[in-house]
Amino acid sequence: MKKFLINIFLLLIICKLSNSQIPTAALCTNDPNIIEGGLKCNGTGDSCALGYYCSSNKCMKTTEFASACQDDSECSPYYCNQGKCGNAYFAIAGESCTNDKDCIGRTQLKCVSNVCSLPEGASCTQANECGLDKNCKDSKCTAASKEGDACNDRYDCPVNLVCTYSNNDASSMTCQKPWTKAVGDKCDNSVDAQRIPFFYDCDIGKNLYCGAKGVCVADKPSESCTKCNEGTACSGYSESCVCNNHGVSAEVNNTEKFGVCVPQVYITNECKTTFNNLISCCAENSCPMTQSLLLNQGSCAFKKCSQYSCEMSNCFRATGEYNMLNLAKTACKSYKLPQDYTSKCPTSNDQPNHSNSMLPSIIFSIIFVFVMIILS
């Protein structure tokens, strides 16, 4: 009888522990809060409304375009270039410039004789330091491959082609047209932070993307208001776990909130059509195309193809950096703020699939100890 009771209590404790979980460091992420001018901001998770920037924890009015400035932040979403608010970081190697800050950021490029160029004697470290349809290989600039020629990554190919496998039996990649792959086809799933998230070999018009196993798979979006505790709990392509802050006090820590699965990129036939128009326009006008240039009003891509750049801005949620929100709103009259998927979801603050507290398990453990003492 004694052993039977002990086994019963052990079983109850195991069951209770299996349904309990210590909260993780961060269960969900917050979209930037849009703060009106003059109000308090924190400079990291907050986004001051268009026309303001966060300075000394307060949303201050930005300096107007072409007006005198001292710092990039006061010109948001532009930059302080040569002492005036304006465009910057819009030209890759070989493109025209008037000063060093016109040349794309995080490179060695300098403005030499009004052309962005590598300093004399310098070796390249990335494609942007080489120019349009060129790549940096073994610290040397090389010409891009043609369609059907060998490649290692998309920078080996012209602006309108992707680097992928020509068929399912191929062991090496070649430059190919985008969106030619069907479900189950072999594809390139390499990570590229500068790749605009629609430029793939899988057919995004059919809601396909390159899965973790290197084959094209169909997107399976999470149902509306699906609760989550981290991005990996969401099933759809590019989904992240966004905190549902509606009806929740601002003082509540993220570890005590639940999130909602939200798509960051929309792989639809409409977005495929728009992006196809964009890459065709960039190819025809010899414009480089990366994420940082898409909405930069000084770039060739925006000057020549702004219609498609602005249409593309509605195919993803520009929430990663607060400057991107204001950049899109400034550059594109048609731009709409990212949809708030959480506004239609329940405001209950229960976390998904587990309890916040270990208290029930502790109580069970105490009871178990007392029973053991009594039975001994």
Model pLDDT for residues 258-304, shown as the tens digit of each residue: 789 988 888 899 999 999 999 999 999 999 988 889 899 999 999 99
Prediction pTM value: 0.78
> Residue 325: in which H helix or E strand, if any?
helix 322-331
Residue 178, domain CATH: 2.10.80
pLDDT of residue 11: 45
Tell me if 124 is assigned to some domain: no
In the predicted structure, residue 351 carries a pLDDT above the cut 80? no
Separation between Cα atoms, residue 309 and residue 313, nearest integer Å:
6
In the predicted structure, residue 107 carries a pLDDT above the cut 80? yes
Tell me the β-bridge partners of 218: 208
In the predicted structure, residue 334 carries a pLDDT above the cut 70? yes
- Range of 175's domain? 144-219
Residues 6+ positions from 293 with CB-CB distance below 8 Å: 90, 104, 299, 300, 301, 302
Separation between Cα atoms, residue 172 and residue 166, nearest integer Å:
9
Tell me if 160 is assigned to some domain: yes
Tell me if 361 is assigned to some domain: no
Residues 6+ positions from 312 with CB-CB distance below 8 Å: 196, 198, 271, 274, 275, 278, 294
Quote the tokens at residue 164. Answer: 């992928």
Q: Which residue do the tokens 């010109």 mark?
A: 75
Tell me the average pLDDT across 19-45: 68
Tell me the average pLDDT across 307-320: 81
pLDDT of residue 360: 47
> Residue 326: in which H helix or E strand, if any?
helix 322-331
pLDDT of residue 24: 41
Separation between Cα atoms, residue 259 and residue 351, nearest integer Å:
8
Tell me the average pLDDT across 13-19: 42
Residue 356 CB: number of other CB atoms within 10 A?
A: 15
Tally of helices (H runs) and strands (E runs) in the chain: 6, 18
Residues 6+ positions from 114 with CB-CB distance below 8 Å: 96, 97, 98
In the predicted structure, residue 226 carries a pLDDT above the cut 60? yes
pLDDT of residue 170: 97
Tell me if 341 is assigned to some domain: no
Separation between Cα atoms, residue 91 and residue 96, nearest integer Å:
7
Separation between Cα atoms, residue 223 and residue 209, nearest integer Å:
19
Q: Which residue do the tokens 């006061």 mark?
A: 74
- Cis before 221? omega within 30: no
Confidence of residue 29 (pLDDT cuts 50, 70, 90): confident
In the predicted structure, residue 251 carries a pLDDT above the cut 70? no
What residue type is 62 in one-letter code? Answer: T
Separation between Cα atoms, residue 363 and residue 375, nearest integer Å:
18
DSSP 142-185: EEPPPTTSEESSGGGS-TT-EEE-SSTT-SSEEEE-TT-B-TT-
Nearest of 184, 217, 187 to residue 199 by alpha carbon: 187
Compute the C-alpha angle 359/365/366, nearest 5°. Answer: 90
pLDDT of residue 352: 46
Q: Which residue has the higher pLDDT, 145 or 192?
A: 145
Contact in structure between 368 and 375 (CB atoms under 8 Å): no
Compute the C-alpha angle 213/218/224, nearest 5°. Answer: 120
In the predicted structure, residue 358 carries a pLDDT above the cut 70? no
Separation between Cα atoms, residue 172 and residue 103, nearest integer Å:
34
Tell me if 292 is assigned to some domain: no
Q: What are phi and psi of 359, to 5 degrees?
A: -55, -45
What domain count does the chain have?
1
Kindly report the average pLDDT of the chain as a whole number. Answer: 83
pLDDT of residue 31: 74
In the predicted structure, residue 17 carries a pLDDT above the cut 90? no
Confidence of residue 212 (pLDDT cuts 50, 70, 90): very high
Nearest of 281, 302, 278 to residue 90 by alpha carbon: 302
Confidence of residue 15 (pLDDT cuts 50, 70, 90): very low
Picking from 31-45, 76-90, 109-123, 238-252, which range would have the lowest pLDDT averaged per residue? 238-252
Confidence of residue 28 (pLDDT cuts 50, 70, 90): confident
pLDDT tens column, 61-92: 999 999 999 999 899 889 999 999 999 999 99
Averaging pLDDT over each range in 50-54, 56-60, 257-261, 343-347, which range is the top one? 56-60
pLDDT > 70: what percent of the chain?
A: 78
In the predicted structure, residue 353 carries a pLDDT above the cut 50? no
pLDDT of residue 356: 39
Quote the tokens at residue 8. Answer: 């019963």
Quote the tokens at residue 207. Answer: 């809601």
Picking from 164-168, 218-222, 319-323, which range would have the lowest pLDDT averaged per residue? 319-323
Q: How far is CA 353 from the centre of its chain?
A: 27
pLDDT of residue 42: 80
Tell me if 256 is assigned to some domain: no
Quote the tokens at residue 345. Answer: 């979801």
